[in-house]
Amino acid sequence: MADRSRFRVGLRVRTLLLLIAAVAIGLGAYIRHRRWEERREELPYEILRAAQLGDAPLIRSLLAEGADVNSVTDGRFPWTPLMNAAFHGRTDCVRLLLENGADPDRQDLDFYSAITLAAAEAHWDIVRILVEHGADTTRGDLYSTTALGYARRQGEDEMIRYLESKTPGKGSQGDAAASSDETDEGPGG
């Protein structure tokens, strides 16, 4: 009888230990999942900041970690990492983001795209890279100004010729603001 009772106690203890182990494993998986979810919520902000600062190694790391190359956050200016890098003249970051599938034609609420942001800031090397990666040269911003319009406004003859050679209709479309006497509006302007 004592052996049987000892067996039952041992069985109950083993069953309890297995139950505790199963709960611990499930809780560990839940905690890992929650940490990953919290991390995923931070990634868009981190990749946008890295693009703005020109930190290509961090962008590479964040992309490897699962950051969306076309991340946007809520706010007045929902810019992608590519748009941030283009506006701030971060050539290496622009290349890296495009090589990883960034959309060169994504627009913000004011219709600015990476190419119009770069052109407005006279980052002509970035404009060329964007054109080489298929950016639409005919799209204008809120003021209907295309990259060609910004080149004309800034008197960039070489860039004007380059963009005219890449723009269907020689850039006549969407450049109303470039030829007017209005103030020099631009992103943040």
pLDDT of residue 22: 85
Q: Residue-wise over 88-117: b if at least 16 C-beta within 10 A, else e?
A: bebbebbbbbbebebbbebbbeeebbbbbb
Backbone phi, psi, residue 180, to 5° = -90, 175
pLDDT of residue 188: 54
CA 17-23-29 angle, 5° bins: 135
Give residue 176's pLDDT: 44
Instruction: Give residue 17's pLDDT.
Output: 83
pTM: 0.74
How far lies 73's CA from each of 43, 49, 92, 98, 133, in Å? Answer: 10, 11, 22, 19, 24
Q: Print pLDDT tens along the chain (189 aa).
A: 667 776 676 778 888 888 888 888 888 888 887 777 777 789 999 999 999 999 999 999 999 999 999 998 877 778 999 999 999 999 999 999 999 999 999 999 899 999 999 999 999 999 999 999 999 999 999 899 999 999 999 999 999 999 999 887 654 444 444 443 334 456 654
pLDDT at residue number 182: 38
pLDDT value of position 119: 96
User: Cα separation of 50 and 38, whole Å?
Assistant: 19
Spatial neighbors of 135 by CB under 8 A, at least 6 apart, are 104, 105, 113, 114, 115
Domains of the chain, each with CATH number or no CATH:
42-179 (1.25.40.20)
